[in-house]
């Protein structure tokens, strides 16, 4: 079963703490060398007037990104984690870069973004967790529909 980080947009405040934690978790440990041009988190906080949430890799079981990668730079490792081989990336006359969530595989504590989120909006989930959430939503919807029926 695939695992990935999911965001609860009702809790996310758009603070971008998760982005900073991601950069620090994948950096060389030298925070003094960080700059705007080197700030490349593997997730992105998206904000609108009404909602904010993170967008990141879902580590799909069929990994369409890896399936269409023309030079094999994206591969599925320890199924279904998708990893990028940076030395295989192609560019058009410049250095090619790609950044995607790797679930902080090297961190014993798990994904840094989940650990630091001040509102606990981020959660590491697997397919069973998603199935349980779907069943709960269906049950609530059925109860709401039944409560609205008038005889």
Q: Among 95, 103, 121, 92, which Cα is nearest to 25's? A: 103
Over residues 12-53, the pLDDT tens digits come to: 999 999 999 999 998 877 777 778 887 889 999 999 999 999
Cα angle for residues 31, 103, 95 (degrees, 5° grid): 60
Whether residue 105 lies inside any domain: the answer is: yes
Residue 140 maps to which CATH number? 3.30.70.20
Give me the pLDDT at residue 37, please. Answer: 80
- Gap between the Cα atoms of 30 and 13, Å rounded: 28
Mean pLDDT of 121-135: 90
pLDDT beyond 90 at 91 = no
pLDDT beyond 90 at 86 = no
Q: For the chain, how many structural domains are there in total?
A: 2
Instruction: Tell whether 85 and 119 lie within a shared domain.
Output: no
Task: Write out the two tokens for 34.
Answer: 């960080």
Whether residue 150 lies inside any domain: the answer is: no
Q: In angstroms, what CA-CA distances link 62 with 1, 42, 54, 81, 111?
A: 11, 20, 22, 11, 22
Instruction: Tell whether 7 and 40 lie within a shared domain.
Output: yes
Instruction: Tell whether 2 and 52 lie within a shared domain.
Output: yes
Q: Which domain holds residue 106?
A: 1-57+101-145
Q: Among 110, 123, 119, which Cα is nearest to 16's? A: 119
Whether residue 114 lies inside any domain: the answer is: yes
pLDDT beyond 80 at 93 = no
Contact 3, 103 (CB under 8 A): yes
Instruction: Tell whether 79 and 21 lie within a shared domain.
Output: no
Instruction: Tell whether 13 and 36 lie within a shared domain.
Output: yes
Whether residue 6 lies inside any domain: the answer is: yes
């Amino acid at each position: 079963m695939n695992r990935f980080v999911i965001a609860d947009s009702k809790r996310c405040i758009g603070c971008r703490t998760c982005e900073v934690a991601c950069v620090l978790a994948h950096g060389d440990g030298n925070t003094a060398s960080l700059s705007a041009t080197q700030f490349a988190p593997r997730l992105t906080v998206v904000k609108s007037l009404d909602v904010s949430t993170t967008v990141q890799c879902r580590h799909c079981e069929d990994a369409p990104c890896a399936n269409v990668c023309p030079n094999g730079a994206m591969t599925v490792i320890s199924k279904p984690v998708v990893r990028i081989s940076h030395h295989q990336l192609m560019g058009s006359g410049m250095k090619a870069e790609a950044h995607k969530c790797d679930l902080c595989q090297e961190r014993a504590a798990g994904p840094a973004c989940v650990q630091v989120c001040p509102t606990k909006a981020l959660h590491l989930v697997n397919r069973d967790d998603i199935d349980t959430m779907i069943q709960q939503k269906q049950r609530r919807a059925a109860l709401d529909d039944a409560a609205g029926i008038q005889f």
